[in-house]
Chain A
Protein backbone atom coordinates (compact mmCIF):
# COMPACT_ATOMS: atom_id res chain seq x y z
CA UNK A 1 0.00 0.00 0.00
CA UNK A 2 2.71 2.36 1.02
CA UNK A 3 4.69 1.41 -1.97
CA UNK A 4 1.69 1.74 -4.22
CA UNK A 5 0.70 5.03 -2.64
CA UNK A 6 4.16 6.33 -2.99
CA UNK A 7 4.12 5.46 -6.64
CA UNK A 8 0.78 7.12 -7.07
CA UNK A 9 2.14 10.34 -5.55
CA UNK A 10 5.28 10.25 -7.60
CA UNK A 11 3.68 9.68 -10.94
CA UNK A 12 1.53 12.79 -11.16
CA UNK A 13 4.17 15.08 -9.60
CA UNK A 14 7.13 13.85 -11.69
CA UNK A 15 6.31 15.69 -14.97
CA UNK A 16 5.88 18.96 -13.10
CA UNK A 17 9.17 18.55 -11.31
CA UNK A 18 10.95 17.74 -14.57
CA UNK A 19 9.30 20.73 -16.15
CA UNK A 20 10.67 22.98 -13.40
CA UNK A 21 14.16 21.55 -13.84
CA UNK A 22 13.86 22.10 -17.58
CA UNK A 23 12.75 25.67 -17.08
CA UNK A 24 15.62 26.42 -14.71
CA UNK A 25 18.07 24.80 -17.12
CA UNK A 26 16.75 26.82 -20.03
CA UNK A 27 16.93 30.00 -18.00
CA UNK A 28 20.55 29.30 -17.07
CA UNK A 29 21.32 28.52 -20.71
CA UNK A 30 19.72 31.76 -21.78
CA UNK A 31 21.69 33.74 -19.22
CA UNK A 32 24.88 32.05 -20.34
CA UNK A 33 24.05 32.72 -23.97
CA UNK A 34 23.40 36.37 -23.25
CA UNK A 35 26.66 36.61 -21.34
CA UNK A 36 28.63 34.99 -24.16
CA UNK A 37 26.87 37.00 -26.83
CA UNK A 38 27.52 40.12 -24.86
CA UNK A 39 31.22 39.36 -24.83
CA UNK A 40 31.40 38.77 -28.57
CA UNK A 41 28.97 41.37 -29.77
CA UNK A 42 31.11 44.46 -29.72
CA UNK A 43 30.16 46.57 -32.66
CA UNK A 44 32.45 46.30 -35.63
CA UNK A 45 32.42 47.85 -39.05
CA UNK A 46 34.67 47.20 -42.01
CA UNK A 47 35.91 49.53 -44.69
CA UNK A 48 36.13 48.59 -48.34
CA UNK A 49 39.35 47.12 -49.63
CA UNK A 50 41.96 49.27 -51.29
CA UNK A 51 43.69 47.13 -53.89
CA UNK A 52 46.93 48.23 -55.45
CA UNK A 53 48.34 46.58 -58.52
CA UNK A 54 51.97 46.67 -59.46
CA UNK A 55 53.79 45.86 -62.64
CA UNK A 56 57.51 46.10 -63.05
CA UNK A 57 58.85 47.81 -66.14
CA UNK A 58 60.35 45.83 -68.99
CA UNK A 59 63.08 47.38 -71.09
CA UNK A 60 63.95 46.18 -74.58
CA UNK A 61 64.68 47.53 -78.04
CA UNK A 62 64.89 46.44 -81.64
CA UNK A 63 67.13 47.59 -84.50
CA UNK A 64 65.49 48.67 -87.72
CA UNK A 65 67.36 49.24 -90.99
CA UNK A 66 67.28 48.74 -94.69
CA UNK A 67 70.06 46.66 -96.25
CA UNK A 68 70.35 45.61 -99.87
CA UNK A 69 73.64 43.73 -99.54
CA UNK A 70 75.78 46.81 -100.14
CA UNK A 71 74.00 49.82 -98.69
CA UNK A 72 72.80 50.01 -95.12
CA UNK A 73 70.32 52.82 -94.60
CA UNK A 74 67.88 54.25 -92.11
CA UNK A 75 69.56 52.57 -89.22
CA UNK A 76 67.54 53.25 -86.11
CA UNK A 77 66.25 51.59 -82.93
CA UNK A 78 62.69 51.12 -81.72
CA UNK A 79 62.06 51.32 -77.97
CA UNK A 80 60.00 48.18 -77.35
CA UNK A 81 59.93 48.82 -73.57
CA UNK A 82 56.87 49.85 -71.64
CA UNK A 83 58.72 52.85 -70.28
CA UNK A 84 60.75 55.74 -71.62
CA UNK A 85 64.30 54.70 -72.30
CA UNK A 86 67.69 55.88 -73.47
CA UNK A 87 69.17 54.01 -76.39
CA UNK A 88 72.75 53.45 -77.43
CA UNK A 89 74.26 51.63 -80.36
CA UNK A 90 77.58 49.97 -80.95
CA UNK A 91 78.69 49.30 -84.50
CA UNK A 92 80.87 46.25 -85.01
CA UNK A 93 82.45 45.45 -88.33
CA UNK A 94 84.41 42.47 -89.55
CA UNK A 95 85.02 40.46 -92.68
CA UNK A 96 83.03 37.41 -93.70
CA UNK A 97 83.35 34.90 -96.47
CA UNK A 98 80.64 33.96 -98.91
CA UNK A 99 79.16 31.63 -96.31
CA UNK A 100 78.92 34.58 -93.91
CA UNK A 101 81.55 33.05 -91.67
CA UNK A 102 83.74 35.46 -89.71
CA UNK A 103 87.23 35.61 -91.24
CA UNK A 104 90.39 37.54 -90.51
CA UNK A 105 91.44 40.88 -91.88
CA UNK A 106 90.68 44.38 -90.87
CA UNK A 107 87.50 46.32 -91.54
CA UNK A 108 86.51 49.88 -90.77
CA UNK A 109 83.20 51.55 -90.32
CA UNK A 110 82.62 53.89 -93.24
CA UNK A 111 82.47 57.48 -92.23
CA UNK A 112 79.01 58.85 -91.60
CA UNK A 113 77.36 61.73 -89.84
CA UNK A 114 75.12 60.62 -86.99
CA UNK A 115 71.60 61.93 -87.03
CA UNK A 116 70.45 64.79 -84.82
CA UNK A 117 70.87 64.17 -81.06
CA UNK A 118 73.03 61.10 -81.63
CA UNK A 119 76.36 61.51 -79.86
CA UNK A 120 79.39 59.24 -80.06
CA UNK A 121 81.07 58.55 -76.72
CA UNK A 122 83.70 55.90 -76.02
CA UNK A 123 82.72 53.73 -78.96
CA UNK A 124 78.96 53.96 -78.48
CA UNK A 125 76.43 56.15 -80.24
CA UNK A 126 73.93 57.50 -77.71
CA UNK A 127 70.62 58.99 -78.59
CA UNK A 128 70.55 61.72 -75.99
CA UNK A 129 66.81 62.16 -75.63
CA UNK A 130 64.47 59.71 -73.90
CA UNK A 131 62.51 57.59 -76.34
CA UNK A 132 58.91 56.83 -75.56
CA UNK A 133 57.59 53.26 -75.59
CA UNK A 134 56.93 52.05 -79.13
CA UNK A 135 58.78 55.00 -80.62
CA UNK A 136 62.22 55.42 -82.13
CA UNK A 137 64.57 58.39 -82.24
CA UNK A 138 63.33 61.18 -84.46
CA UNK A 139 66.44 60.92 -86.58
CA UNK A 140 68.20 57.81 -87.86
CA UNK A 141 71.64 57.04 -86.50
CA UNK A 142 72.84 56.30 -90.01
CA UNK A 143 71.13 57.72 -92.99
CA UNK A 144 73.09 55.60 -95.45
CA UNK A 145 76.48 53.92 -95.70
CA UNK A 146 77.99 51.58 -98.23
CA UNK A 147 79.80 48.47 -97.14
CA UNK A 148 82.79 47.01 -98.91
CA UNK A 149 81.41 44.29 -101.09
CA UNK A 150 84.75 42.65 -101.80
CA UNK A 151 88.15 43.26 -100.26
CA UNK A 152 90.91 42.99 -102.79
CA UNK A 153 93.73 42.36 -100.35
CA UNK A 154 95.10 38.98 -99.38
CA UNK A 155 92.44 38.38 -96.69
CA UNK A 156 89.63 38.97 -99.11
CA UNK A 157 86.03 38.58 -98.02
CA UNK A 158 83.21 41.11 -97.67
CA UNK A 159 82.38 43.62 -95.01
CA UNK A 160 79.77 42.98 -92.35
CA UNK A 161 78.48 45.65 -89.97
CA UNK A 162 76.49 44.53 -86.98
CA UNK A 163 74.30 47.06 -85.26
CA UNK A 164 73.99 46.23 -81.58
CA UNK A 165 71.56 48.31 -79.59
CA UNK A 166 70.85 48.64 -75.88
CA UNK A 167 68.14 50.43 -73.96
CA UNK A 168 67.94 51.53 -70.36
CA UNK A 169 65.28 53.22 -68.27
CA UNK A 170 65.74 56.97 -68.58
CA UNK A 171 64.86 57.60 -64.94
CA UNK A 172 66.21 57.93 -62.41
CA UNK A 173 69.32 59.52 -63.87
CA UNK A 174 71.66 57.26 -61.96
CA UNK A 175 70.30 54.25 -63.84
CA UNK A 176 72.32 55.11 -66.94
CA UNK A 177 75.12 56.23 -64.70
CA UNK A 178 75.39 52.97 -62.81
CA UNK A 179 74.70 50.66 -65.74
CA UNK A 180 76.46 52.45 -68.58
CA UNK A 181 78.83 54.76 -66.71
CA UNK A 182 77.54 57.87 -68.42
CA UNK A 183 75.42 60.88 -67.74
CA UNK A 184 73.14 61.66 -70.64
CA UNK A 185 71.62 65.03 -71.34
CA UNK A 186 70.19 66.52 -74.49
CA UNK A 187 72.95 66.69 -77.04
CA UNK A 188 75.76 65.46 -74.79
CA UNK A 189 77.16 62.45 -72.99
CA UNK A 190 79.68 62.57 -70.17
CA UNK A 191 81.29 60.06 -67.89
CA UNK A 192 79.15 59.38 -64.84
CA UNK A 193 80.39 60.83 -61.59
CA UNK A 194 79.15 59.69 -58.17
CA UNK A 195 78.97 63.00 -56.41
Chain B
Protein backbone atom coordinates (compact mmCIF):
# COMPACT_ATOMS: atom_id res chain seq x y z
CA UNK B 1 0.00 0.00 0.00
CA UNK B 2 2.87 2.33 0.89
CA UNK B 3 4.81 1.55 -2.22
CA UNK B 4 1.64 2.05 -4.17
CA UNK B 5 1.28 5.44 -2.56
CA UNK B 6 4.87 6.30 -3.44
CA UNK B 7 4.27 5.23 -7.02
CA UNK B 8 1.24 7.48 -7.27
CA UNK B 9 3.20 10.35 -5.79
CA UNK B 10 5.99 9.77 -8.26
CA UNK B 11 3.64 9.66 -11.23
CA UNK B 12 1.92 12.79 -10.02
CA UNK B 13 5.26 14.56 -9.67
CA UNK B 14 6.42 13.52 -13.13
CA UNK B 15 3.08 14.59 -14.56
CA UNK B 16 3.49 17.95 -12.84
CA UNK B 17 6.98 18.40 -14.19
CA UNK B 18 5.79 17.51 -17.69
CA UNK B 19 2.92 19.94 -17.28
CA UNK B 20 5.29 22.69 -16.20
CA UNK B 21 7.58 21.85 -19.12
CA UNK B 22 4.72 22.06 -21.55
CA UNK B 23 3.59 25.25 -19.87
CA UNK B 24 7.06 26.68 -20.25
CA UNK B 25 7.07 25.60 -23.86
CA UNK B 26 3.82 27.43 -24.45
CA UNK B 27 4.95 30.53 -22.61
CA UNK B 28 7.19 31.93 -25.33
CA UNK B 29 7.05 35.68 -25.24
CA UNK B 30 4.59 37.18 -27.66
CA UNK B 31 3.97 40.73 -28.64
CA UNK B 32 1.18 42.18 -30.71
CA UNK B 33 1.87 44.96 -33.15
CA UNK B 34 -0.28 48.06 -33.23
CA UNK B 35 -3.47 47.63 -35.15
CA UNK B 36 -3.38 48.93 -38.70
CA UNK B 37 -6.82 50.26 -39.39
CA UNK B 38 -7.78 50.76 -43.02
CA UNK B 39 -10.57 53.24 -43.52
CA UNK B 40 -12.54 53.27 -46.73
CA UNK B 41 -14.86 56.11 -47.58
CA UNK B 42 -16.88 56.51 -50.73
CA UNK B 43 -15.71 59.42 -52.84
CA UNK B 44 -18.13 62.15 -53.63
CA UNK B 45 -18.53 65.54 -55.22
CA UNK B 46 -18.63 68.43 -52.87
CA UNK B 47 -21.96 70.15 -52.62
CA UNK B 48 -22.41 72.51 -55.52
CA UNK B 49 -19.18 71.31 -57.05
CA UNK B 50 -20.73 71.78 -60.45
CA UNK B 51 -22.25 75.01 -61.64
CA UNK B 52 -23.71 76.14 -64.93
CA UNK B 53 -23.75 79.81 -65.66
CA UNK B 54 -24.09 82.44 -68.34
CA UNK B 55 -22.97 86.00 -68.46
CA UNK B 56 -25.70 88.47 -67.75
CA UNK B 57 -26.81 90.43 -70.76
CA UNK B 58 -27.89 93.99 -71.37
CA UNK B 59 -29.64 95.41 -74.38
CA UNK B 60 -27.85 97.99 -76.46
CA UNK B 61 -30.60 100.43 -77.37
CA UNK B 62 -28.67 101.71 -80.36
CA UNK B 63 -28.09 98.38 -82.03
CA UNK B 64 -30.84 96.25 -80.52
CA UNK B 65 -28.25 93.60 -79.69
CA UNK B 66 -28.05 91.93 -76.30
CA UNK B 67 -24.43 92.04 -75.19
CA UNK B 68 -22.85 90.20 -72.29
CA UNK B 69 -21.64 91.94 -69.18
CA UNK B 70 -18.93 90.86 -66.78
CA UNK B 71 -21.48 89.58 -64.27
CA UNK B 72 -22.76 86.03 -64.42
CA UNK B 73 -26.04 84.35 -63.61
CA UNK B 74 -26.88 80.79 -62.63
CA UNK B 75 -30.59 81.30 -63.03
CA UNK B 76 -30.87 82.70 -66.54
CA UNK B 77 -31.36 85.79 -68.65
CA UNK B 78 -34.50 87.43 -69.91
CA UNK B 79 -34.63 88.80 -73.42
CA UNK B 80 -37.50 91.14 -74.17
CA UNK B 81 -38.51 93.06 -77.25
CA UNK B 82 -36.19 91.04 -79.47
CA UNK B 83 -35.64 92.77 -82.74
CA UNK B 84 -35.02 91.24 -86.17
CA UNK B 85 -31.49 91.74 -87.41
CA UNK B 86 -29.87 91.54 -84.01
CA UNK B 87 -27.76 89.12 -81.98
CA UNK B 88 -28.39 87.83 -78.48
CA UNK B 89 -25.38 87.06 -76.33
CA UNK B 90 -25.76 83.71 -74.61
CA UNK B 91 -22.92 81.54 -73.41
CA UNK B 92 -23.90 78.51 -71.32
CA UNK B 93 -20.74 77.41 -69.53
CA UNK B 94 -19.90 74.91 -66.80
CA UNK B 95 -17.44 75.00 -63.94
CA UNK B 96 -16.30 71.98 -61.94
CA UNK B 97 -14.85 72.70 -58.53
CA UNK B 98 -11.28 72.13 -57.47
CA UNK B 99 -10.51 68.68 -56.04
CA UNK B 100 -13.36 67.01 -57.86
CA UNK B 101 -12.68 63.52 -59.22
CA UNK B 102 -11.89 62.96 -62.87
CA UNK B 103 -15.14 63.75 -64.60
CA UNK B 104 -17.02 63.91 -67.83
CA UNK B 105 -19.23 66.96 -68.26
CA UNK B 106 -22.57 66.76 -70.01
CA UNK B 107 -24.83 69.68 -70.87
CA UNK B 108 -28.51 69.34 -71.61
CA UNK B 109 -30.23 71.97 -73.74
CA UNK B 110 -33.99 72.09 -73.75
CA UNK B 111 -35.62 73.95 -76.62
CA UNK B 112 -32.46 74.55 -78.60
CA UNK B 113 -33.68 72.25 -81.37
CA UNK B 114 -37.09 73.92 -81.41
CA UNK B 115 -36.07 77.46 -82.31
CA UNK B 116 -38.46 79.17 -84.74
CA UNK B 117 -37.43 80.23 -88.22
CA UNK B 118 -35.15 83.21 -88.10
CA UNK B 119 -33.55 82.32 -84.76
CA UNK B 120 -30.39 80.26 -84.81
CA UNK B 121 -27.30 79.40 -82.82
CA UNK B 122 -24.54 81.48 -84.34
CA UNK B 123 -21.46 79.62 -83.25
CA UNK B 124 -21.90 76.27 -81.54
CA UNK B 125 -18.42 75.22 -80.41
CA UNK B 126 -18.19 71.76 -81.93
CA UNK B 127 -14.51 71.58 -81.03
CA UNK B 128 -15.34 71.57 -77.34
CA UNK B 129 -18.81 70.08 -77.30
CA UNK B 130 -20.08 67.12 -79.24
CA UNK B 131 -23.69 66.03 -79.32
CA UNK B 132 -24.52 62.64 -77.84
CA UNK B 133 -27.56 60.44 -77.98
CA UNK B 134 -29.28 59.74 -74.70
CA UNK B 135 -31.86 56.96 -74.88
CA UNK B 136 -35.20 57.96 -73.43
CA UNK B 137 -34.54 61.67 -73.73
CA UNK B 138 -37.31 64.09 -74.64
CA UNK B 139 -37.52 65.25 -78.23
CA UNK B 140 -37.03 68.81 -76.98
CA UNK B 141 -33.71 67.97 -75.38
CA UNK B 142 -30.27 67.77 -76.88
CA UNK B 143 -27.19 66.61 -74.98
CA UNK B 144 -23.60 67.61 -75.46
CA UNK B 145 -20.49 66.14 -73.85
CA UNK B 146 -17.41 68.21 -73.24
CA UNK B 147 -14.25 67.72 -75.25
CA UNK B 148 -11.46 69.05 -72.99
CA UNK B 149 -8.82 68.94 -75.69
CA UNK B 150 -10.84 71.01 -78.12
CA UNK B 151 -10.56 68.40 -80.85
CA UNK B 152 -14.20 67.38 -81.01
CA UNK B 153 -13.45 64.17 -79.13
CA UNK B 154 -15.27 63.57 -75.86
CA UNK B 155 -13.04 63.23 -72.85
CA UNK B 156 -12.84 63.82 -69.15
CA UNK B 157 -11.28 66.42 -66.94
CA UNK B 158 -8.55 64.76 -64.93
CA UNK B 159 -8.33 64.85 -61.17
CA UNK B 160 -4.78 66.07 -61.61
CA UNK B 161 -5.82 69.25 -63.32
CA UNK B 162 -8.74 69.58 -60.93
CA UNK B 163 -6.40 69.28 -57.96
CA UNK B 164 -4.89 72.69 -58.61
CA UNK B 165 -7.94 74.72 -59.57
CA UNK B 166 -11.53 74.59 -60.69
CA UNK B 167 -11.98 74.03 -64.40
CA UNK B 168 -14.30 76.15 -66.50
CA UNK B 169 -15.37 74.83 -69.87
CA UNK B 170 -15.61 76.70 -73.11
CA UNK B 171 -19.17 77.94 -73.60
CA UNK B 172 -21.44 75.72 -75.68
CA UNK B 173 -21.94 78.76 -77.90
CA UNK B 174 -21.79 82.50 -77.43
CA UNK B 175 -24.75 84.01 -79.21
CA UNK B 176 -28.04 83.54 -81.03
CA UNK B 177 -28.72 85.29 -84.30
CA UNK B 178 -32.04 86.90 -85.07
CA UNK B 179 -32.44 87.21 -88.82
CA UNK B 180 -33.99 90.28 -90.37
CA UNK B 181 -36.68 87.93 -91.67
CA UNK B 182 -37.68 86.90 -88.16
CA UNK B 183 -41.41 87.40 -87.96
CA UNK B 184 -41.82 87.64 -84.23
CA UNK B 185 -42.86 84.03 -83.70
CA UNK B 186 -42.89 82.69 -80.18
CA UNK B 187 -39.37 81.67 -79.27
CA UNK B 188 -40.22 79.90 -76.05
CA UNK B 189 -37.72 79.29 -73.31
CA UNK B 190 -34.27 77.82 -73.51
CA UNK B 191 -33.16 75.81 -70.50
CA UNK B 192 -29.65 74.53 -69.89
CA UNK B 193 -28.65 71.98 -67.27
CA UNK B 194 -25.32 70.39 -66.48
CA UNK B 195 -24.15 67.08 -65.08
CA UNK B 196 -20.73 65.73 -64.12
CA UNK B 197 -20.10 62.00 -64.25
CA UNK B 198 -17.10 60.54 -62.50
CA UNK B 199 -14.58 58.81 -64.74
CA UNK B 200 -13.97 55.17 -63.87
CA UNK B 201 -10.89 53.24 -64.98
CA UNK B 202 -13.10 50.27 -65.72
CA UNK B 203 -14.95 52.29 -68.34
CA UNK B 204 -12.25 51.41 -70.85
CA UNK B 205 -11.99 53.33 -74.07
CA UNK B 206 -15.61 52.89 -75.01
CA UNK B 207 -16.82 54.90 -72.04
CA UNK B 208 -19.72 56.70 -73.65
CA UNK B 209 -22.19 53.98 -72.76
CA UNK B 210 -21.09 54.11 -69.14
CA UNK B 211 -21.36 57.89 -69.03
CA UNK B 212 -24.84 57.93 -70.54
CA UNK B 213 -26.05 55.17 -68.24
CA UNK B 214 -24.71 57.07 -65.23
CA UNK B 215 -26.73 60.19 -65.98
CA UNK B 216 -29.31 60.75 -63.22
CA UNK B 217 -32.88 59.95 -64.14
CA UNK B 218 -34.03 63.51 -63.49
CA UNK B 219 -31.38 64.73 -65.88
CA UNK B 220 -32.88 62.70 -68.68
CA UNK B 221 -36.55 63.20 -67.92
Contacts and interface: CB of A to CB of B under 8 A. Distances in A.
Contacts, number: 148
A83 B81 contact: yes
Contact of B64 (A50, A52, A171): A171
A110 B64 CA distance: 38
Contacts of B199: 42
A43 B54 contact: no
B184 A57 contact: yes
A82 B184 CA distance: 13
Interface stretch (B27-35, B83-91, B142-150): B83-91
Contacts of B44: 43
Contacts of B53: 50
Contacts of B83: 57, 83, 169, 171-172, 175
B155 interface: no
B158 to A, nearest CB: 15
Nearest to B192: A50
B210 A50 contact: no
A122 interface: no
A57 B184 CA distance: 7
Contact of B187 (A56, A84, A178): A56
B188 to A, nearest CB: 7
Nearest to A175: B85
B152 interface: no
Contacts of A53: 76-79, 189
Contacts of A45: 45, 49-50, 195-196
A51 interface: yes
B61 interface: yes
A55 B86 contact: no
Interface stretch (B14-22, B120-128, B213-221): B213-221
A13 interface: no
Given A56-B182, A169-B83, A172-B85, A50 B216 contact: no
A57 B216 contact: no
Contacts of A44: 195-198, 214-216, 219
B133 to A, nearest CB: 18
Contacts of A47: 50-52, 74, 94, 193-196
Nearest to B76: A51
Given A42-B200, A43-B43, A47-B52, A84 B82 contact: no
The 8 A-B residue pairs with the shortest CB-CB distance in the complex, in nearest-first order? A171-B64, A47-B194, A43-B198, A54-B187, A57-B81, A83-B81, A47-B52, A45-B45
Interface of B: 43-45, 49-54, 60-65, 73-86, 88, 90, 92, 94, 101, 180, 182, 184-200, 210-211, 213-216, 218-219
Interface of A: 39-40, 42-58, 81-84, 130, 169-172, 174-175, 178
18 contacts: A42-B199, A46-B216, A47-B196, A50-B54, A50-B74, A51-B190, A52-B189, A53-B79, A53-B189, A54-B187, A55-B79, A55-B81, A56-B81, A57-B81, A57-B83, A170-B64, A172-B65, A172-B85
